[in-house]
Structure 1
Amino acid sequence: MNKDESGFSPQAFAKTLSEDLKANRIALPTLPDVALEALVVINDIESSVNDLVKIISRDTALTARLIRYANSPLYRGVNPVSSIKQAITRIGFQKVKSAVYAVSMHEVFHSPNKAIELRMERLWMHSVKIGSTAATLAKTYTDLDPNTALVAGLVQNVGQIPIITKAADYPELVENSKLLDKLLSKLHGKLGQNLLRLWRFDPAIVAVTRAQQELYSERDDEPVDLVDLVQAANILTQEESDQPQTAIDRDRVPAFARLGLPADAVSQSAAMLESSAAVATALF
């Protein structure tokens, strides 16, 4: 891409972005302190549910989201849970790590800069749709953990955050949505991988940052994984929108066959989207 009419150079932007990231001149997003403390407790084999309750209870927003999450279609029981201890017990101590990641991610998609805050919020809402649909697919069609699938969907576009943050320095770029979208599509994958590795995410989740670049890749010799779930979730959710991906032929996307999801299963798609919407409410 060459300079546009305003004189903006995408190549120069990409170079500056790379240099700023290497020099730590861009404030990278971080998870809330309480969430980080909770993750430390979860990873400590000597910790108990009560230890985790003490940490999470200090953050009323995190507590409320985890309770809503435990009452979502992924975990809903006969009776709703009303305390954080009940929520952790229902989700499971070992699986609550992914749940903490999931309900904390919203804090990452924020900016004090009003010029880009709306873009960040749209990215978050899109990520929630992808994540909740991936979780529903995982529960319906695979033995993969829905918690992990949810997180994978939430973070697949996390590499866009530093790009959007840097774009705030270029008013002409913020105002040119099409050009910014092109840059996001071109640059976010590698940045996302680096961010997730920095946050010490599991390699299986890091891999989803390249999901859209490998949409048509045949992987018959590999077991169904998070990449399949995120690819299918992307298409299912965007079929409900006016995005370019709505024109994609599901028959050409191996993920649908690998998941056992028929290409013409419109009714199944609608049911899954309805279920995933209920899961998504726990994240707000």
Structure 2
Amino acid sequence: MPTIDLDQLTRHRAQTFHLPPAPRISTPEAALDWVNQRGFVYFWPITGVDLPSLWTAVAGERAVADAHDDPGHVTWGWKDSALDKRQWYYAKILRRKATMISLEIAPYFYALSDNYGSPEEDHIIAYQAGRLTVEAKQIYEAILDKGPLHTLDLRREARLTSKGSDSVFNRALEVLQAGFKILPVGVAEAGAWRYAFIYDLTARHYPDLPDKARAIGESDARQKLLELFFASVGAAQLRDVTRLFGWGNELTVRALKRLVNGDQVTGGAIWPEKAGEWYTLLSLIGQGP
């Protein structure tokens, strides 16, 4: 069985994750270039998930600091100042965690969502099919009717202001974001912390996104995202891919088989000292003694 060359993998991830000896990202312009190059990244590193993050590329391979004055938190300002500039797609997407997606790649994600190009009806179809809760439907319809709303106003308009509705409201926001129905588009000085996201409909903020996605088949979308994923991480197991993208085991296996039939990734590889079989870039396979 082919064996992953761990030295090559380490060098590969140093480049794609912006780890030493690669220079750290130090400007918002460089951050945008990097997101466009990678296709999609996390904003913060997520425990148990191998994927580049802006925090790590800026601050190094360390835990996100609690101190608000940590130099790494310059990323927070970059992210917030970019929300209304349409320079990348930012929302809680992969595993419902903060994800930054290149605008070139966003249509591939959107093509895999349950949106069909009608913002006035898509949420109703999803609700009737049991994919949206009544709370998520109320949030969506509040933004649909009233326009962009910050979190406090959104809770009032959606009739979810009781303390007992905190978790229900936050979970509904995550579901709507992961489904490419809403996204944060700005920050308002509201609430006790004078900080609240402003949310709008995805199809209203990026009106050309549905049309761009319509021309992309689901199989092609999955293959494109997998190509970018392996270009970033180098190697992963089936369970890693399934958990990250949430496609289900059958669809993920099918997508990986199609990828392996290409000329960049192979399956059945061994990671020394780790159990199981791995999918990996062919360029990372050791040449043997």
Task: Flag whether TM exceeds 0.5 (same fold).
Answer: no
TM-score (normalizing by structure 1):
0.29
TM-score (normalizing by structure 2):
0.29
* Larger fraction in strand: 2
Using CA pairs under 8 Å that are at least 6 residues apart, name the structure with larger relative contact order, 1 or 2. Answer: 2
* Larger fraction in helix: 1
